Chains A and B, each alone.
Chain A
Amino acid sequence: GIQVEQSPPDLILQEGANSTLRCNFSDSVNNLQWFHQNPWGQLINLFYIPSGTKQNGRLSATTVATERYSLLYISSSQTTDSGVYFCAVASMNRDDKIIFGKGTRLHILP
């Protein structure tokens, strides 16, 4: 099945810093989503982005489907950005099964 790798696994930043999180996947996809799991365990959908670029406030994401990666950018980090960021994909051949990467754990220091 499709493999999803996220990097870095852990990231500690000072408030106000910018960060780039990466998601590599091993097969063509027709579905890619970024999620934020906050310290209380809630999972929030940030972007549905199988290709192209989207922006929402301080967050933006770009997926280059032909090169099998996606990037999540967080600018001017705030302590509330802390948590785990997951990339989830569905293979073009198995478009119903959505697989998660292991996540990037982000800790923003005040």
Chain B
Amino acid sequence: NAGVMQNPRHLVRRRGQEARLRCSPMKGHSHVYWYRQLPEEGLKFMVYLQKENIIDESGMPKERFSAEFPKEGPSILRIQQVVRGDSAAYFCASSPRDRFGSGANVLTFGAGSRLTVL
């Protein structure tokens, strides 16, 4: 079991470009969380997804940010027209909850993707 895989580990973008961060959950996990961490700060909840369904996106900025978790393939966090304030570490975690929402919601984190906006 390879754990939660995030890529890229480091991403550099210029202002106005797009950033795409990918997260492959642990095998058998069908729920994914995305968090943002600024330097020296805690983790801020962004979005919680199940395959083909956004469960809670109350932490996502209203503009430029979107997330998806398709039936096949990894979850994607997309940031359009990046600004310097988007520079942060973005962490993905997966949970073994089944598609009915049952089971302990215990998070396993990936190594994170560090976005730097020039």
Given A41-B112, A48-B104, A97:B56 Cβ within 8 A: yes
Q: Are A96 and B55 in contact (CB under 8 A)?
A: yes
Chain A contact residues, majority secondary structure: strand
Task: Number of B interface residues at 8 Å Cβ cutoff, please give it.
Answer: 23
Q: How far is the CA of A41 from the CA of B9 in the complex (A)?
A: 12
Tell me the chain A residues, 15-65 only, with Cβ under 8 Å from chain B.
31, 33, 35, 41-45, 48
Q: Are A97 and B107 in contact (CB under 8 A)?
A: no
Given A96-B48, A97-B48, A100-B35, A31:B42 Cβ within 8 A: no
Which of chain B's residues has its CB closest to A42's CB?
Answer: B111
Additional A-B contact list (5), CB under 8 Å, known A96-B56, A98-B107: A42-B109, A97-B48, A100-B42, A100-B45, A103-B42
Q: Which 3 A-B pairs have the closest CB atoms?
A: A43-B109, A102-B42, A100-B43
